[in-house]
Amino acid sequence: MDNIAVFCASSGLIDEIYKQDAQKLGEVIGKRGWQLVFGGTNRGLMRIVGNATMSAGGKTLGIIPACLQERGIAAQWVTTQIVTPDMKERKALMRSHADAFVALPGGWGTLEEIIEVITLKQLGEHTKPIVFLNTNGFYEEFLFFIAQAREKKFISHAYDSLYYVANNVEEAIAYLDAYVAKDVASKY
Give the C-alpha separation, 100 to 102, whole Å.
7
Q: Are 83 and 69 in contact (CB under 8 A)?
A: yes
Instruction: Quote the pTM value.
Output: 0.95
CA 139 → CA 14, 16, 27, 40, 78, distances in Å? 15, 17, 23, 23, 29
Q: Is residue 63 assigned to a domain?
A: yes
Q: Is residue 183 assigned to a domain?
A: no
Q: Is residue 142 assigned to a domain?
A: yes
Confidence (pLDDT) at 130:
99
Confidence (pLDDT) at 1:
83
Q: Is residue 135 assigned to a domain?
A: yes
Q: Is residue 25 assigned to a domain?
A: yes
- Tell me which amino acid residue 71 is: R
For residue 6, what are the β-bridge partners?
102
Q: Are 24 and 6 in contact (CB under 8 A)?
A: no
Enclosing domain of residue 94? 3-178
Number of domains, the chain: 1
Strand order in the sheet with 100-103: 80-84, 59-65, 35-38, 3-7, 100-103, 130-133, 164-166
Q: Is residue 185 assigned to a domain?
A: no
Tens digits of pLDDT across the chain (188 residues): 899 999 999 998 999 999 999 999 999 999 999 999 999 999 999 999 999 999 999 999 999 999 999 999 899 999 999 999 999 999 999 999 999 999 999 999 999 999 999 999 999 999 999 999 999 999 999 999 999 999 999 999 889 999 999 999 999 999 999 999 988 877 66
Q: Is residue 85 assigned to a domain?
A: yes
The CATH number for 112's domain is 3.40.50.450
